[in-house]
Amino acid sequence: MTELLFLTSEDVAGLADVADYVDAVRAGYREQGPAEPRTKLVNEEPPGMLTSYIAILPETGAMGGYTYAAGFGDADVHFMTPLFDAESGKPLAMLDGASMNPFKTGAVGAVGIDALARTDAETLAIIGSGAQARGQLRAAATVREFSTVNVYSPTKENRESFASEMNGEIDAAVGAVASSDAAVEGADVVVTATNASEPVFDGDLLEPGTHVTAMGQYDPEKRELDARTIERATYVPDLHARATSDAGSFLQAMDEGVVTEDDIHGDLGAVLTGDVPGRQSDDEITVFDSGGTGIETVAAAYMLYEKAVEAGLGQTIDIAPGSEALTGR
């Protein structure tokens, strides 16, 4: 039997601060280990989707991924994260990924901002006001000293609540604005964290030198960014293979004929390792398309696993190896 550590969402909540997640995710993307885009199975009745993705981080010494079910009869989402030792192949842990999710997703957004946004960026636009938007803002504030944050979401109460809450958390003036145009105009960094199926702002409004992180969609038929934004920008996905599989903004821009596959500048790992350059001028518009991969999931989960072991958290479960299960020994 092999011992596996089970960590509940409560076990891992509060184990790490935002900067810990950002550091772990940055290191994970630099490793350039094997990773696959997500697999998504859609169910019509009851409506829902079952999604998974995997990655190996050889230098970290861990591998695993994410499997989650969203919708169905429960009309909710549940995240399971198996973690294995990358050398022995033995299981290390199973994490309930609920509390980790906004932090690890926010972390990869922050790594993209750090790699591609101007170093003097001061004004941040957030489009969206849910848990993921909060995660993006918390993490972004660890890599740039923003003085102003403008948030827009269609529901006035939601955007005002977001602004009120986040004003007390970060060292920037966070305010709600009445339109996405008002948020985007004059912004140095724009983050979209929505469930929108159609573009959430006009790409012609982007000022030269703006960086955009889009993280709310991972479906060929849905997009947060219009073709004009993609056409104007240096385009960097989190994983190269994602750009032509489920990155709806890029795929639809290709369909409109404004870009080709050759316009994929390189993925985030290639930028971090210097295989391709990051930002090359103060006037350049950059896009980081962050639909989610196993890389940030494994990196964050392993960081939490190590902290949990040190803190004595979780409970152990016996897992039978295949040699025993198949032979009945």
Q: Which residue shows structure tokens 């994410």?
A: 66
Are residues 116 and 95 part of one domain?
no
* Residues 135, 12: Cα–Cα separation, whole Å: 16
Are residues 177 and 323 part of one domain?
no
Are residues 221 and 88 part of one domain?
no
Instruction: Determine the longest span between alpha carbons in the chain, in angstroms.
Output: 67
Confidence of residue 24 (pLDDT cuts 50, 70, 90): very high
As a whole number, mean pLDDT of residues 257-279 equals: 97
Are residues 270 and 196 part of one domain?
yes
As a whole number, mean pLDDT of residues 49-61 equals: 95
**Residue 94 CA: distances (Å) to CA of 7, 8, 97, 197:** 6, 9, 9, 33
Alpha helices in 117-173 (DSSP H): 131-140, 156-167
Nearest to 53 by CA among 63, 43, 61: 63
CB hemisphere CA count around 26 (13 angstroms): 16
Q: What is the pLDDT of residues 192-225, one digit of tens each?
A: 999 889 999 999 999 999 999 999 888 888 899 9
As a whole number, mean pLDDT of residues 135-145 equals: 96
Are residues 219 and 323 part of one domain?
no
Mean pLDDT of the chain: 94
> Is 76's pLDDT higher than 70?
yes
Are residues 231 and 126 part of one domain?
yes
Contacts of 89 (CB under 8 A, 6+ apart): none
% of the chain at pLDDT higher than 70: 99
Confidence of residue 327 (pLDDT cuts 50, 70, 90): low
Are residues 234 and 136 part of one domain?
yes
Write out the E strands in 241-290.
286-289
Are residues 262 and 173 part of one domain?
yes
> Is 47's pLDDT higher than 70?
yes
As a whole number, mean pLDDT of residues 25-36 equals: 94
- For 209, the domain range is 107-289
Q: Which residue shows structure tokens 């104007």?
A: 232
As a whole number, mean pLDDT of residues 303-307 equals: 97
pLDDT of residue 217: 81
pLDDT of residue 328: 55
Q: What is the pLDDT of residues 77-116, one digit of tens each?
A: 999 999 999 999 999 999 998 899 999 999 999 999 999 9
Burial of residue 168 (number of CB atoms within 10 Å: 0-12, 13-18, 19+) = exposed
* Residues 40, 53: Cα–Cα separation, whole Å: 9
Confidence of residue 287 (pLDDT cuts 50, 70, 90): very high
Are residues 266 and 141 part of one domain?
yes
> Is 291's pLDDT higher than 70?
yes
Are residues 272 and 300 part of one domain?
no
Residue type, 108: V
Residue type, 142: T
End-to-end CA distance of the chain: 11
3-class DSSP state for residue 185? coil
As a whole number, mean pLDDT of residues 132-160 equals: 96
Q: What CATH number does residue 151 fall under?
A: 3.40.50.720
